[in-house]
Amino acid sequence: MVKILDCTTRDGGHLTNWVYEKQFVVDLIKELNQNGVSYYEIGYRNRLEKDNKGKFYYCTPEILKEFHDIRGNLKIGIMTDATRYCAEDFAGADKDFADFVRIACHPDKISQTLDIAKDLHNKKYKVFVQLMDISNIELEGYLTLMNFKNKEIFESVYLADSYGLLKPDEIKPYFDKLRTLGYEKISFHAHNTNGNALINTLSAIDSGAYSVDTTKNGLGRSGGNLPLSELLLNV
């Protein structure tokens, strides 16, 4: 059975400025547990931009501690990216309240992202890499992924339809390509710009996806994400 990663408060934060009432998050955690969701990406960890964003844009260990003990069966995690990563902000899974870290990887930052992944793995975090804007990854990027010697460190590698423009028949070839490069656990993050979030996600599941992403009521940028309720009705 495919696993589900919910990123309501992280991706939805693009619409809410990462401001949420604590009770909203508590209720969301209960809902995700009731629906068998495996991962909850609660927000970003980023201290480099101080432009009045809500606390779920920063997600310090102190912020995460509020929710850690009530997470139930969920693994709670955060997102960072190569241009905002500060190694000293990730002290190690045994000192943090984040079970996993997902690294947003733009096509020109693959090598840098893989170095970050090794650092986080050495600190005992579960690590996801999200390949952003997958249609614009060039040969050099794929060669870097192929030559990476530590593929086993990933919880999964995500393909992201960052602008919601992919069609369902375009999904499987990306899965096949990553498999030829030696990656076994591959996941999919959809956006709904063209109304294809569900059908693209179902195509990813048919292609053997390890996990797929949803949000509450489809909250998110670029046309929104796939609503959890819609996925549950179709799998």
The three-state (H, E, C) secondary structure of 134-146, written as one string: HHHCCHHHHHHHH
| Residues 161 and 132 sit within 8 Å (Cβ to Cβ) | no
pTM for this predicted structure: 0.96
**Residue 77 parent element (H or E):** strand 75-81
Strands 75-81 and 100-105: parallel
Q: pLDDT tens digits, residue range 111-163?
A: 999 999 999 999 999 999 999 999 999 999 999 999 999 999 999 999 999 99
Q: pLDDT tens digits, residue range 38-82?
A: 999 999 998 777 678 999 999 999 999 999 999 999 999 999 998
Q: What is the mean pLDDT of the chain?
A: 96
Q: How high is the pLDDT of residue 48?
A: 77
Q: How confident is the model at residue 214 (pLDDT cuts 50, 70, 90)?
A: very high
Q: How high is the pLDDT of residue 37?
A: 98
Q: Could you tell me how many residues make up the chain?
A: 235
Bridge partners, residue 3, by sequence: 211
Strands 3-6 and 75-81: unpaired
**Residue 62 parent element (H or E):** helix 61-68
Q: The tokens of 57 are what?
A: 């844009």
Q: How high is the pLDDT of residue 51?
A: 77
Q: What is the CATH number of domain 3-232?
A: 3.20.20.70
Q: pLDDT tens digits, residue range 1-43?
A: 899 999 999 999 999 999 999 999 999 999 999 999 999 999 9
- In 49-120, where do the E strands start and end? 75-81, 100-105
Q: Amino acid identity, residue 103?
A: I
Q: The tokens of 126 are what?
A: 């579960």
Q: How high is the pLDDT of residue 2?
A: 97
If DSSP codes are grouped into helix, strand and coil, which group holds residue 212? Answer: strand
Per-domain boundaries in the chain: 3-232
Q: The tokens of 217 are what?
A: 């009521």
φ/ψ of residue 59, rounded to 5: 45, 60
Q: Give Cβ neighbours of residue 173 (< 8 Å, ≥ 6 apart).
A: none
Question: Distance from CA of residue 91 to its chain's centroid?
Answer: 20
